[in-house]
Structure 1
Amino acid sequence: MIILLRHGETFWNRERRIQGHTESDLTPLGLRQAEAMARLAADLVAREGGGWRLVASPIGRAQRTAEAVARATGLTVETDARLAEVCCGEWEGRLRAEVAEIHPERFATGEWFFGAPGGETFEDVHARAASWLADLPPESERRVIAVSHGVTGRLVRGAYAGLDRHATLAQDVPQDAIYRLQNGQIDRFDCEPVEPV
């Protein structure tokens, strides 16, 4: 079983600024989302017994979210670069609207995050996601909580379920829900509502 989370809201998420590998702190709402996801993850894993690992992207927003999960579960955070967000190259730090104005053809496809000069492709990130999944224990022995990102989390779920590119990228990327990947099935669990202050 894999319990998969996206990090909580960041200041750049709120500003609609392209993050990629660049750091952006969790907002107060993002911190509360991380705590809510952590409580839900702890509840789900407690039902399954011991032997769990907690693995996160090395990027700060995922690490902060993983720290909340670690507090809730008593697990230690391991880091795996394959769970990092898609690199958006020269576009990192820029507003989406600004880049969309300059490159409307790339944004029209709905796959703009793979179009940045110096950034990663769909195939690059899919290969990372598939490699991470392939290195896990067999399904019957798998007990992993993973903290990742919007795009990479989609590709982990897509690789797990054998989805095509379109179906993979059409998936939701909530910051107030977690996914359970088990026996070829993906189930979403929504957290308790967390209101902005």
Structure 2
Amino acid sequence: MFAEIYLLRHGQTHFNAERRLQGQCNSPLTDLGQRQAFAMGKTLAKQLGAQLNQWQIVSSPLGRTKQTSELVCRGMGVSAQQVIYDARIQEVGLGDWEHEQIEQIVQRHPAFAARNDWYLEAPNGESLTQVQARLREWLAEYQGQQLIVVSHGLTGMILKAMLMQQDDEQIWLQERPQDALFHYRNKQLTKIAVDANYLHETLELPTMSASA
């Protein structure tokens, strides 16, 4: 397994703000989302200090994670050219539900209101087994490395459960914050909140591509 890993979710997107499902489609980061991404980079720089350049950054290739990883690198003070993009850590495919608002889906399926795993019911979406298979392949390839991983809400929960060897039911009980990151080492997982001061820094945010 990994020597050590920092796992980040992308910053808030316009679809997140509208409570709309994204899956493997895309929506650009909001202003808050860009600040969250930058703040995660600043937090990592503080955590890692002089060891910053010893870490490999791996990101999902979807537009919102590309935006996030570029801003994380900016916050860390390193070049975004070093980021490796890997589709195996992209978000769970949500099939016919992508672009739909959560409330509309739950209205059609009232039983979902009492469940946390209903995303897996998406018509033409990915199954949990499929997602776990691609993550397992990815984990095997990067075994033993020190990684900063920029991924997604659902995929991040599945990955954390795999690292912690939790059963499938425990996946959906986890948090998926956009103003915090998770540190995994020696079978222990620690949540690290970003310093709120970083979210309020005055900075010029560049116009960035959000294409998938």
Instruction: Give the TM-score normalised by structure 2.
Output: 0.85
1:57·1:148 contact (CA, 8 Å) conserved in 2? yes
Q: Which runs of 5+ in 1 are unaligned?
A: none
How far apart, in 1, do the equivalents of 2:148 and 2:58 lie?
A: 6
Which among 74, 80, 88 is matched to residue 94 of structure 2? 88
Aligned to 2:205: none
- How far off its partner does 1:113 sit? 1.1
Aligned to 2:166: 163
88-97 or 66-75, which moves further after superposition?
66-75
Letter in 2 for 1:17: R
- How far off its partner does 1:47 sit? 5.1
- How far off its partner does 1:181 sit? 0.9
Aligned to 1:108: 114
Which among 30, 35, 41 is matched to residue 38 of structure 1? 41
Letter in 1 for 2:35: R
- 2:31 is aligned with 1:18: no
1:56·1:63 contact (CA, 8 Å) conserved in 2? yes
Letter in 1 for 2:156: G
Residues 70-92 of structure 1: CA distance to partner in whole angstroms, max 9, x if unpaired? 22241411101011001100000
SS in 2 for 1:39: helix
Question: What is the aligned residue count?
Answer: 192
Letter in 1 for 2:136: A
SS in 1 for 2:143: coil
SS in 2 for 1:166: helix
Aligned to 1:130: 136
Letter in 2 for 1:38: G
1:41·1:178 contact (CA, 8 Å) conserved in 2? no
Instruction: Give the TM-score normalised by structure 1.
Output: 0.91
Letter in 2 for 1:183: N
Aligned to 1:4: 7
Letter in 1 for 2:34: L
Letter in 2 for 1:184: K
How far apart, in 2, do the equivalents of 1:50 and 1:59 lie?
A: 24
Letter in 2 for 1:188: K
How far apart, in 1, do the equivalents of 2:176 and 2:115 lie?
A: 18
1:88·1:113 contact (CA, 8 Å) conserved in 2? yes
Residues 26-85 of structure 1: CA distance to partner in whole angstroms, max 9, x if unpaired? 011001100101111222233546421111001111111100122224141110101100
Task: Give the alignment of 1:171-190 within 5 angstroms.
Answer: 171-190=174-193
Q: Which runs of 5+ in 2 are unaligned?
A: 201-212
Identity percentage over the alignment?
Answer: 38
Indicate the RMSD between aligned Cα atoms, in angstroms: 1.5
Aligned to 1:74: 78
- How far off its partner does 1:4 sit? 0.7
SS in 2 for 1:44: helix
2:20·2:101 contact (CA, 8 Å) conserved in 1? yes
- How far off its partner does 1:124 sit? 1.4
Letter in 1 for 2:166: L
